[in-house]
A and B are shown apart, each in its own frame.
Chain A
Amino acid sequence: MDEKTKPNQDHEAPSTSRRNFFINPAAAAAVAAAVTGPGQLLAATTAPTIPTIRIPKEIPVTVSEPAKPGSFEGRGMTGAEVFAKLCKDEELAALFCCPGNYTVINAIAAAGVPAYGGRSEGSMCAAADGFSRVTGEATACSGTEGPGFTNMIMNIASAAAARTPLLVLASNMQIAGDDREAFIQTAYQQPTTTGMKKFGKRLIAPDRVHEYGAYAFRNMKSGVPGPVHLDFPGEVARARFTDSANLKDYYTKEKYRSESRANPSNKEVQQAADLISKAERPLIVAGQGVFQRKAWEVLQQIAEKQDIAVVTSGPMRGQFPDDHRLSASVAPNALMSADLVVFVGQYCMPSPGEYKLNPEIKAIRVHPVQEDLGRNWPLDLGIVSDEKLFLEALANVLPKKKRDPWVNELAAARQAWEKKNLDEYALGLKHSAATDHLHPAVMAKEVHDFLYKGDIDPKQTVTASGGWTTGLYAGRWLRANRAGQGVVCGYQYGAIGPDLAMMIGASAAVQRGVGPQAPYKGAPVLVVTSDAGVAYSMFELDTAAKYKIPIIAVIYNNNSWGMWPSAVGSARSMHMYLFQENLRYDKMAEGLGARGEYVRTPEQLRDALKRSYKAASTEMASTLINVQALKEFTSGKDYPPGIYLNPEPGTGAFAH
């Protein structure tokens, strides 16, 4: 028996349990006592016979195996291997899956695509989405037949709302068994994803597997991206090919799709430049397309050339830095003053009134798809163009111009926004002190100060937020100061609880240094979410531990669903909205091989963040920080201000 396959014998071998995150045993004991109280330390020292949580040897060994793609030589390639080779040639950035669809996921892993296996298909789908949101790259998720596939549905829909280039894969019985309910797990997959995909196909002809792989990437990498769903019957995945001539349309990506993009005409660019130059207070809404097309540098050039305000929108943030003097993302009061808005890369259009803009504002929209121009928002100028090509063309014709009054107004609005948030923080401190529980405004501000006001590079840490009370408060304080730094987990679809799972993907991307994450390769990521939300994906802390992709999860534990106020006026309802009080998510995290921290004061949270960041940076260890709160903090009547929606667009926005 070789080392790769030998079962684990020694249960006392080095492990990833929190006791081993500290080199000095005395320091470890002191920290354990300080953080979790004597009970935890006692448990750690009096239960020596209980085996420690550990990563099996097979995981690091098989992760580091060299790629071994299929070949037409010898036994030939399976349909799955043909498809996997295409995925590799297309630089599919990562695969997140649960076992099932075995032939396909094994082939993709063998082809050399980074692959991750997790605890539920839904979470793995969210992880693939998260990886894509912080890199702009196409990623894949996979699950088995009916149940694995249907477990992904919420997160496929979320990816569709976010226009994520996500390849959804699933096995699906045999063509020969169609409509017979043979054995188990029969599902009609393609109708199920109607309305949540850009393209989908049940592959029914083995020799067309490459052709439909090309369909998939052509759709994900052209125009406005979106999920593509392919389901693989056994006859396709397991078909064998010893000659490429037996495959339909078997040619390289240069022949089955084009990198050609829509160019704006000189006349249209000049019209846009004239409108912008004539405006007194122009505003660019830099949406997802700016990120997808990696156009953030030219966007900044344009903004600085004419003192144009920029606010970001979309499922990721940072395509224009929040800390830039021209950023309106943290200056919502200035939005109403803008007299011209230029939507660039706004894939999901709001309607007037959904954005905090003057109803009389003039509007330009730049979008790669003509049919969408004029939808929802009336336009003064619509331009069909690739976002980057438009911005580059605009940069060439736009004259320099100073707009001191507008810049000053932005600065004043930024100060006003900060003051409002600080006033709420001051209230939150009082609420916290009065109740001995942490108010969400305090939690959010402490996280903010730790990430952006201390020793950490404010551009370094990728963050996300979710949950209701939690997400609204955290959204006001989290910042994106560079491309790919912020993830808006609930963007548009409002998926419930994908946050931690999404950050599994984001962390994997940062650990690999993919795309805009390259300068921050290896940094920890941080997510702020709720007790209700984390229940959907907390088991993925196991995945984070086994792959050493560190996450700091700040969990706002208010013992309830955030919507509990909806039960107040209904005598027999509240039980449906509440959990047991004081559940210990930190302990659950420890049980999954992560670190756990429990906090109730600002000082405790500050210290826990420091320890967690250090553990993530040096030991690749994940931490769940249980922030104990009260549900009543949601109530504006009892603990003002309570909750309210954040202005859109800008930091904390999630609808469009």
Chain B
Amino acid sequence: MVTPLVNAQDGKPNAGALTAEQAKKLKNPVPYSKKSIAQGRGLFIRNCAGCHGNDGKATVDVIADATDLTAPKTWKDGTSDGEIFRSIRDGQNASMPAFKTQFHEDEIWGVVNFIHSLWPESMRPSLQDKESTEPEHGKSK
């Protein structure tokens, strides 16, 4: 499944963006598995770590005042899969880029899964790999 580029703007900024309500209803079609977490991590490291840091804690202040991805309770724009997907796809606030021109949808879902793996253990979804119950990355320290 590939997300088309933003539709015609018709003179309106970001006319192709998802609304908050639309986002809440979205279901993650990519299982929360070690494989998808690893794929998401690869994209995250190359595209997101500049602001959020390799560990997602956003302790580097060079580029932007980015969100600490390891502390979902502090987030302002929702923590459901669809809301995270929306933030990545359409951008968030003024400093978070819209990645819909760079990532396919399934890639964005992979990043969503990786972000879940950064959460405190008690808040993470259950891994859907049969052979393991522990994610490769993002273990609590």
Contact = CB atoms under 8 A, between A and B. Distances in A.
Interface in B99-117: 99-102
A431 interface: yes
B100 A565 contact: no
A640 B47 contact: no
Interface stretch (B8-16, B23-31, B124-132, B133-141): B8-16
B98 A431 contact: no
Given A566-B65, A635-B91, A641 B97 contact: yes
B94 interface: yes
Contacts of A644: 47, 97, 99, 102
Interface stretch (A396-404, A422-430, A447-455): A422-430
A641 B46 contact: no
B-side interface mostly: loop
Given A431-B9, A637-B17, A645 B94 contact: no
Contacts of A637: 14, 17, 90-94, 96, 98
B71 to A, nearest CB: 15
Contacts of B99: 641, 644
Interface SS of A by simple majority = loop
A431 B14 CA distance: 9
Given A637-B98, A640-B98, A641-B98, A427 B5 contact: yes
Interface in B7-59: 8-9, 11-14, 16-17, 42, 45-47, 49-50, 54
Contacts of A424: 101
A433 B13 CA distance: 11
Given A494-B62, A563-B64, A645-B50, A427 B101 contact: yes
A632 B97 CA distance: 12
A565 B9 contact: no
Contact of B94 (A433, A434, A564): A564
B95 interface: yes
Q: Which of B16, B46, B100 has the most CB of A within 10 A?
A: B46
A644 B54 CA distance: 16
A430 B14 CA distance: 11
Contacts of B97: 636, 641-644
Contacts of A570: 65
Contact of B9 (A356, A423, A430): A430
A3 interface: no
B94 A565 contact: yes
Contacts of B96: 636-637, 642
B65 A636 contact: no
Given A427-B6, A644-B102, A638 B46 contact: no
Contact of A635 (B9, B12, B94, B101): B94
B57 to A, nearest CB: 15
Given A353-B46, A566-B64, A637-B94, A431 B102 contact: no
Contacts of A641: 91, 97-102
Contacts of B50: 645
Nearest to B67: A569
Range for the number of chain A residues in contact with chain B = 20 to 34
Nearest to B101: A641
A640 B98 CA distance: 6
Interface in B58-99: 62-65, 90-99
Contacts of B100: 640-641
A368 interface: no
A23 interface: no
Nearest to B4: A423
A70 interface: no
Contacts of B16: 640
A431 B54 CA distance: 33
Interface string A163-194: 00000000000000000000000000000000
Given A434-B11, A639-B13, A640-B101, A647 B46 contact: yes
Contacts of B12: 434
A569 B96 CA distance: 13
Nearest to A633: B13
B90 A636 contact: yes
Nearest to B76: A569
Contacts of A356: 46
A434 B9 CA distance: 9
Nearest to B38: A359
The CB with the most chain B CB atoms within 10 A, among A563, A636, A647, is that of A636
Contacts of B49: 353
Contacts of B65: 565-566, 569-570
A647 B102 CA distance: 11
Given A353-B54, A427-B6, A642 B91 contact: yes
A123 interface: no
Contacts of B17: 637, 640
B94 A640 contact: no
8 contacts: A423-B101, A427-B6, A636-B92, A636-B96, A637-B93, A637-B98, A638-B13, A641-B97
Given A356-B46, A634-B95, 8 more contacts: A430-B11, A568-B94, A632-B94, A636-B90, A636-B91, A638-B14, A643-B97, A645-B47
Interface of B: 5-6, 8-9, 11-14, 16-17, 42, 45-47, 49-50, 54, 62-65, 90-102
What are the 9 A-B residue pairs with the smallest beta carbon separation, nearest first?
A636-B91, A565-B95, A565-B94, A636-B98, A640-B98, A635-B94, A644-B97, A637-B91, A636-B97
